[in-house]
Amino acid sequence: MNRHADPHADDRVAAPRISVCLLAFNHAHVIESTVASVLEQTLADVEILLSDDCSTDGTWDALRRIEQRDARVRAIRTPHNLGMAEHANFAVARSSGEFIALLHHDDLYRPDLLEKWAGVLERHPDAGFVFNCYGEVDGDRICGAPMPGECIDGDWLLERHLFARWGCLIRGTAMIRRSAWLREGGMRAAFGLLADVDLWMRLAMRGPVGYVDEPLITVRHARPSYYPDIYKGGTWSWTRLRLLYEIHAANRSTYLRRKRFAGRLRWLAFRYRLSAETAKWIVYALVRRKYPMLRSCGDSRTAYDVWPLRAFRALLLHATRFLPST
């Protein structure tokens, strides 16, 4: 016997190819059906981490019950409520697969989701992550945009989609190559619930992005009434808008450094575009007499605002002292 051999070598289990990291928080009413769609995946070489961010509604108890019924599942819990970005980092740090499937608690996943995602990353080893178009549970509409193929140039995606509009066509669900995740340092907690948008931009700046032109995920919009307002679609938030501005600014400044003189002009154009967007919403609040929205418009301040916006906002904030309380 080789005296240098590892006596525990036979006890080791090879790391799975894919780690599913499903992030959950206060979704007890749908979590079991969401997890059921994960357990029905066609691929077997998968570890499934169900991660709870200190839910208060029974979600954690549901995840523990699922863990007891299925040996493929490991339920983990954060030490305290972290919020989406840090929760994602927490879960991924406890996984081991080459590919990380980042999933959320309220969607439904087609049985071939992981198979389709992994196939793209295997065929295109330079792609940092892969995403897809989405269906909606309450309609036939497909959410997405035309793409040039299953492997997209990162700069093309940035210019045509991620930088071109304030919304993001990529949801928080995607499969990321672990080497790419580690290289970028995961999600940046400073960007809170929109940190995934920042991550997609950073990954796209590094190289190609994978795409599956099929609605592999069905979106349910199943947020309960007691969910934090900032996470609810349709709920206005200056804070959410400011986070989006800061994400765009951080990534555009990095991207435009490559463009030299043209980049400086585009940076100035971006600042005016950002300021015009803020001014638009302030005017909207003024015309519609949404006084609470006007009073809180100071929360939209960023370091990138141009001086006409700063003066306009300061004037309105002064005037709000004389407005009705509601």
Q: What is the pLDDT of residues 118-155, one digit of tens each?
A: 999 999 999 999 999 998 767 666 788 899 999 999 99
Cβ-based neighbours of 311, under 8 Å, separated by 6 or more: none
Q: How many domains does the chain have?
A: 2
Asked if 200 and 276 sit in the same domain, the reply is no
User: Of 165, 191, 226, which residue constitutes the final position of a domain?
Assistant: 226
DSSP state string for 223-237: --TTS-GGGSTT---
Predicted local confidence at residue 235, as pLDDT: 63
Distance CA 79, CA 182 (A): 22
Which among 138, 127, 204 has a CA at the least distance from the CA of 169?
204
Asked, for residue 2, whether it belongs to a domain, the answer is no
| 8-27: average pLDDT | 78
User: Of 200, 226, 252, which residue constitutes the final position of a domain?
Assistant: 226
| Greater model confidence, 286 or 138 | 286
Asked, for residue 71, whether it belongs to a domain, the answer is yes
Asked if 186 and 299 sit in the same domain, the reply is no
Asked if 248 and 213 sit in the same domain, the reply is no
| 258-277: average pLDDT | 91
Asked, for residue 231, whether it belongs to a domain, the answer is no
Contact 326, 291 (CB under 8 A): yes
Asked if 84 and 164 sit in the same domain, the reply is yes
Q: How confident is the model at residue 209 (pLDDT cuts 50, 70, 90)?
A: very high
Asked if 99 and 244 sit in the same domain, the reply is no
Predicted local confidence at residue 13, as pLDDT: 56
Distance CA 45, CA 35 (A): 17
- Its pTM stands at 0.90
Asked if 107 and 168 sit in the same domain, the reply is yes
Q: Which domain does 271 fall in, by range?
A: 236-322
Predicted local confidence at residue 231, as pLDDT: 62
- DSSP label at 216? E
Cα–Cα distance list, 22 to 32, 90, 108, 240, 241 (Å): 12, 11, 12, 23, 26
